[in-house]
Amino acid sequence: MTEPTTLTTTPGAALEAMRAARPLIHCITNFVAMNIAANTLLAAGASPAMIHTPEEAGEFARIAAALTVNIGTLSPLWVEGMKLAAEGANAAGRPWVLDPVAHYATAYRSRANAELLALSPTVIRGNASEIMVLGGETSATRGADAADPVAAAENAARSLALKQTCTVAVTGEIDFVTDGTRALRIHGGSALMPQVTALGCSLTCLVGAYAAVLPDAFEATVAALVHYAVAGENAAADADGPGSFGWRFLDALAALTPAELEARARVEAA
């Protein structure tokens, strides 16, 4: 029988540590997400830098506390920058997070994603459809939005985590995080979240911020997802729709205190 997964750093302590460190996060994300992801990191308490050109991406990854790579809007130059950055992060012993946006959509995108997977991301964060296909299963989805429930992706996430020796986060109505041995589910958030573009991409950057500070990538990923889940619930309480949810969500990320996060976190064994 396996032991139930417990956290050594609670979500409140993780938030306190992340804000105290205000880690510099190197983000290579897509054109849609760049602004909202940078604002997400600032609101949460980290310091973003969006740097993608091959001339400097490898060098900068060695300076930053963590790297996040998102394949949402690719071009050959960007892919080169992503690979150099991942190599730089690995060389400097920094964690890096991969967001495989719609990696199944085209042959070019699949190839780029496979090349990044070969560079051993510390964490992979995707929606259920993205993780199912990465884990060798099929999905009816074609674009960036999920067409499957998170529960359907749990087995794929476990096998992907074991194959890649990394942490895998599957997000959706109830998030699932595993490193192949440990596994937890995180409740919270809002049905308005998938109606605002790039919130998943921005979460990937926030996972980088926590992974920069906590030594355990599994626990860092859980902490980032809990921060997002509680902020999402708070923002949704007064939102009229996706538009007002967007700005309320930034405010809620910033307003959360470690004590509130501690009291409101809903994490269960999986």
Ligand X SMILES: Nc1ncnc2c1ncn2[C@@H]1O[C@H](COP(=O)(O)OP(=O)(O)O)[C@@H](O)[C@H]1O
Ligand Y SMILES: Cc1ncsc1CCOP(=O)(O)O
254 phi-psi bin (left φ>0, alpha ψ -120 to 50, beta other): alpha
> Which of 64, 67, 144, 186 touches ligand Y (CB under 6 A)?
144
The span from the first CA to the last CA of the chain, in angstroms, equals: 13
CB–CB of 209/218 below 8 Å? no
The set of residues, in sequence order, having a beta carbon less than 8 Å from that of 244 and lying 6+ positions away, is: 238
Q: Of 46-54, 86-94, 107-115, 199-207, which part binds ligand Y (CB under 6 A)?
A: 199-207
Q: Is 23 in the site for ligand X (CB under 6 A)?
A: no
Q: Is 146 in the site for ligand X (CB under 6 A)?
A: yes
> Closer CB to ligand X, residue 91 or residue 255?
255
- Report the interhelical angle of 217-238 vs 11-21 (nearest 10°): 100
> Which of 88, 200, 232, 246 touches Mg ion (CB under 5 A)?
200
**Taking the CA atoms of the chain, what radius of gyration do you get in angstroms?**
17
> Closer CB to ligand X, residue 84 or residue 205?
205
> Closer CB to ligand Y, residue 37 or residue 270?
37
> Which of 17, 199, 207, 217 touches ligand X (CB under 6 A)?
199
Write b or e for each residue in 11-30: b if 16 or more Cβ atoms lie within 10 A of its Cβ, otherwise e: bbbbbbbbbebbbbbbbbbb
> Closer CB to ligand Y, residue 7 or residue 43?
43
Give me the 98-127 binding string for Mg ion, x by CB under 5 A, dash otherwise.
Answer: ---x--------------------------
Phi, psi of 203 (to 5 degrees): -60, -40
Q: Of 103-111, 117-125, 151-159, 194-202, which part binds Mg ion (CB under 5 A)?
A: 194-202
Where along the sequence are the contacts to ligand Y (CB under 6 A)?
30, 32-33, 72-73, 101, 144, 197-201
